[in-house]
Amino acid sequence: MFVLDENEEMPLYVQLYQQIKNDIIKGDIKSGTKLLSSRKLAMDLRISRNTVELAYDKLSSEGFLISRPHQGYYAELPLMEALDKQEGIGKPQLELESQDDKNIIYDFQNKRLHPDEFPFGRWKALTNKCFLDYKNGFLQYGCPFGEPSLRAEIQRHIYHHRQVKCQAKQIIIGSGTQFCLELICHVLTDQNMNIAMEEPAYNRTRMTFQNNGFHIRPIQMDEHGIDISQLKNKTVAAAYVTPSHQYPTGIIMPKTRRVELAEWAKCNDTFIIEDDYNCCFQYDINSIPSIHSFCSDRVIYMGTFSDLLFPAIGVSYMVLPEQLVDKLCERYCHDTTFVPFLTQKTLELFMREGFWEKHMRKTILHQRKKRDVLVKSLRHEFKDKIHIWGTHAGLHILVQAKWAVTEEELIAQANEMGVGVQPTAEFWSCTQNMKNGLVLLNYGGMLLEQVPAAVKLLRQAWLKNEKGAVKEL
């Protein structure tokens, strides 16, 4: 019999859910056992029927119960849980934290979303469904460029949201953005070995190009993004841009600049690599069509699922112009799949059954609220003592101090107060272009209610005088 405590902070349905789940995993409730009806169990426990149904629904979504019409609920040990139990695999231990990480209470360094914001139960249920309903897929190597059914889902998604019109065969699914960039480097090697990049730009992307023998040509930006006038004097294989939320400045490239950039690529017979990361996180503006929609034969379009899901999924994709698809096929057509079948199939089901759209809408609204609270808190605490950049999109903002202070000092002072902030110096290829006193705040991994307290600590850390008192603003 299950024991529920009304004095516990944990809701009754969660207590019931956890107890049933634990009994199924331990084997106290065998697979195939019929559970009491929600009405009968509610009467026995003297709780509402809705409470039991909430617990049953959660167990069913995670694959621990199977609902049979006109028969009731039956216990089921999901295959992943059964394998863990059989092999004696316990819960993975947490990685050892560095000393600096242990001191961090509020972390603006995390680029991921907070774990509480992802429907792990739904993902787990779909993963179990793959083992039950799609066994044949595990026995095949599959197409190296991605499962046709997932490529079709991505095709529909990017056409609807980003006006990217392509054939499914042009979509290449890879294990992360840097992996896709590696593939791009391999199909561009018969061009000249120069790549134009925004200045500043994501340092790992710059390193990927350099590791593949390309020379970086940094291009300064104006308020609308990459400066086309500087591009006209450069002979490059491609220009890499992040138009939806330039990294790290947060500049959103307007439609006119996108059209201008597309015309530049056509006239110079070169390519644009459009990294459309964070494209869904647009808060105060209408969505702007992708550069690909203006010049599909000269644009390599890139997207990722990590921003909205979790980094460990390791799934990104790109849309190659048709003339580059054949070159990639010649080199990799005999390879095994770049992304495991289980990951691809689970993601396909997540998209096909509507959970992706639902999760995307919910996450965007939540991140908008978080952005609003962060900006409001910063302006309240610091008044006119700081510049705030990049607030209209994405999952991060830039903060620059107006007083004489270095990036290193800001980071060290914040760490002393238990707040982690991210440096920006590494994003500039030319050190003379760096801005002093500039740090990056990733708010995706923060809980909404943590933000005001974190900003108060930043104020205490950054606006001290020699005696340690906070300066009057």
Of 70-74, 167-171, 281-285, the range with the highest mean pLDDT is: 167-171
Contact 329, 186 (CB under 8 A): no
CA angle 387, 393, 394 (to 5 degrees): 100
Handedness of CA 405, 408, 410, 416 (dihedral sign): negative
- CA of 67: how far to CAs of 24, 61, 77, 128, 446, in Å? 15, 10, 14, 15, 37
Residues in the chain: 473
Give the residue-averaged pLDDT of 5-20: 83
Give the residue-averaged pLDDT of 200-212: 94
Instruction: Please determine, for residue 97, whether its predicted confidence score (pLDDT) is greater than 50.
Output: no
Please name which of 379, 358, 387 lies closest in space to residue 459, comparing C-alpha atoms.
Answer: 379
Give the residue-averaged pLDDT of 95-113: 69
pLDDT per position as a tens digit, 395-439 = 999 999 999 999 999 999 999 999 999 999 999 998 777 888 999
Q: Which of 261-300 are b and which e, b meaning 16 or more Cβ less than 10 Å from the residue's Cβ?
A: bbebbeeeebbbbbbbbbbbbbeeeeebebbbbbbbebbb
- CA of 72: how far to CAs of 12, 18, 52, 60, 390, in Å? 21, 20, 13, 12, 53
pLDDT per position as a tens digit, 349-382 = 999 999 999 999 999 999 999 999 999 999 999 9
Contact 353, 363 (CB under 8 A): no
Contact 265, 228 (CB under 8 A): no
pLDDT per position as a tens digit, 439-463 = 999 999 888 999 999 999 999 999 9
Question: pLDDT band for position 14 (50/70/90)?
Answer: confident
Mean pLDDT of the chain: 88
CA angle 148, 311, 107 (to 5 degrees): 160
pLDDT at 200: 95
Give the residue-averaged pLDDT of 295-321: 91
Domains in the chain (CATH in brackets) are 12-87 (1.10.10.10), 129-353 (3.40.640.10), 361-462 (3.90.1150.10)
Give the residue-averaged pLDDT of 22-50: 89
For the chain, percent of residues with pLDDT exceeding 70: 92
pLDDT at 153: 97
* 3-class state of residue 333 by DSSP: coil
* 3-class state of residue 270 by DSSP: coil
| Phi, psi dihedral angles at 388 (to 5 degrees) | -120, 125
| Helices and strands per DSSP (H, E), number in the chain | 16, 16
pLDDT per position as a tens digit, 144-183 = 999 999 999 999 999 999 999 999 999 999 998 999 999 9
Give the residue-averaged pLDDT of 241-259: 95
Question: pLDDT band for position 89 (50/70/90)?
Answer: very low
pLDDT at 31: 86
Name, in order, each residue with C-beta under 8 angstroms of 329's C-beta and a sequence gap of 6 or more.
Answer: 145
Give the residue-averaged pLDDT of 293-301: 97
| Interatomic CA distance for residues 338 and 135, integer angstroms | 19
Instruction: Please determine, for residue 40, whether its predicted confidence score (pLDDT) is greater than 60.
Output: yes
pLDDT per position as a tens digit, 460-470 = 999 974 334 44
pLDDT at 173: 96
pLDDT at 415: 93
Question: pLDDT band for position 85 (50/70/90)?
Answer: low
